[in-house]
Structure 1
Amino acid sequence: MNFESLINLLPYSEPFLFVDELKEVSENGISGTYTFKEEADFYRGHFKDNPVTPGVILTECMAQIGVVCLGIFLLKNEELKNFGVALSNESIDYFLPVLPGEKVTVVSEKVYFRFNKLKCKVHMFNAEEKLVCRGEISGMIKAE
């Protein structure tokens, strides 16, 4: 499975797709990037005259790259025509803001994958390779 076909299997589309490219993927982890678009609607009100990316959007980016993309890769032998994704748990610590137009890199390490539940340690870095946020995210993929 190549990176582009993996991204195309994601159950998201613009404006809620937070994956631009995948850099590495293996049975044990994944990394990828996303550049937050300056014209994204959520910047208009978060915060007035000083826009920053909301933490929930950072978490979503981490989950899409670090859990959902990795889960699809791990299920590569399954038929994934119609599948569902559900976040089951997350715990994230935030350290730096992400500004409009900023590119981030997400690096995820599998903790476990069993019974279609995937738990990962996920880190997000800015373009200067400084840690933006980190935590653990768990999710379920229901393949049909």
Structure 2
Amino acid sequence: MTTESSLSTFTKPALPMDINAIREYLPHRYPFLLVDRVTEITDDSIIGYKNVSINEEFFQGHFPEYPIMPGVLIIEALAQVSGILGFVMNNVKPQPGTVFLFAGAEKVRFKKPVVAGDKLVLQSELVMQKRGIYKYNCVASVDGIVAATAEIIISKQNTE
């Protein structure tokens, strides 16, 4: 539970956020942590990236002769970066028992395959917030070319 004193001492994370700082905001761990760095945060948007390596476990079974990142993992990466933004927007540092859960995706479109060696840039911008539910317009791109778009919905949950 967040107290008044912890709200007053919270400051936005220093940028760029490295993997150690990201792990303070996301409960995910290998092999499911899909954000490597956060480079930009405003009051209602965030930009980060995932370096897509041939060493990723999913490449062993997902088109091994043409290693492409599964679309569902691209959407999960967008949800993860949106979850980080959820904490920052609420001016709270993650506490045990509070998480932002992926609640849905709408208008999902895949435009370009993401392959081993790509730097997947993840952008998320808040479009709606209501009673612990947040909707974000999200774009995943590689070298400035859109790979996927989606409206991501996350929900703030207390697990304790």
Q: How does the TM-score come out when normalised to structure 2?
A: 0.81
In structure 1, the gaps of 5 or more residues are: none
Unaligned runs of 5+ in 2: 1-11
Larger radius of gyration: 2
Could you say which residue in structure 2 is the equivalent of 1:71? 86
State how many pairs are aligned.
142
- For the residue of structure 2 that corresponds to 1:52, the secondary structure is coil
What is the rounded CA distance, in whole Å, between the counterparts of 2:115 and 2:48 in structure 1? 18
TM-score when scaled to structure 1?
A: 0.89
When residues 28 and 85 of structure 1 are mapped into structure 2, their CA distance, relative to the original with a 3 A threshold, is closer
Correspondence 1:59-138 to 2 at 5 A: 59-65=75-81, 67-77=82-92, 80-91=95-106, 92-126=108-142, 128-138=143-153
CA distance in 2, matches of 1:21, 1:48: 27
* Contact 1:6 1:73 (8 Å CA) reproduced: no
For residues 39 and 75 of structure 1, do their structure 2 counterparts lie closer, same or farther at Cα, with a shift above 3 Å needed? same
The 2-side partners of 1:13 and 1:46 are apart by 21
Give the equivalent residue in structure 2 for 1:21.
Answer: 37
Code of the residue aligned with 1:33 in structure 2: it is: Y
Structure 1 pair 6/114, CA: closer, same or farther in 2 (3 Å)?
farther
1:131 CA displacement = 0.5
Q: Are residue 139 (structure 1) and residue 154 (structure 2) matched? A: yes
CA contact (8 A) 1:122 1:134 kept: yes
Do the aligned partners of residues 64 and 79 (structure 1) sit closer, same or farther apart at CA in structure 2, a change above 3 Å counting? closer
CA contact (8 A) 1:37 1:101 kept: yes
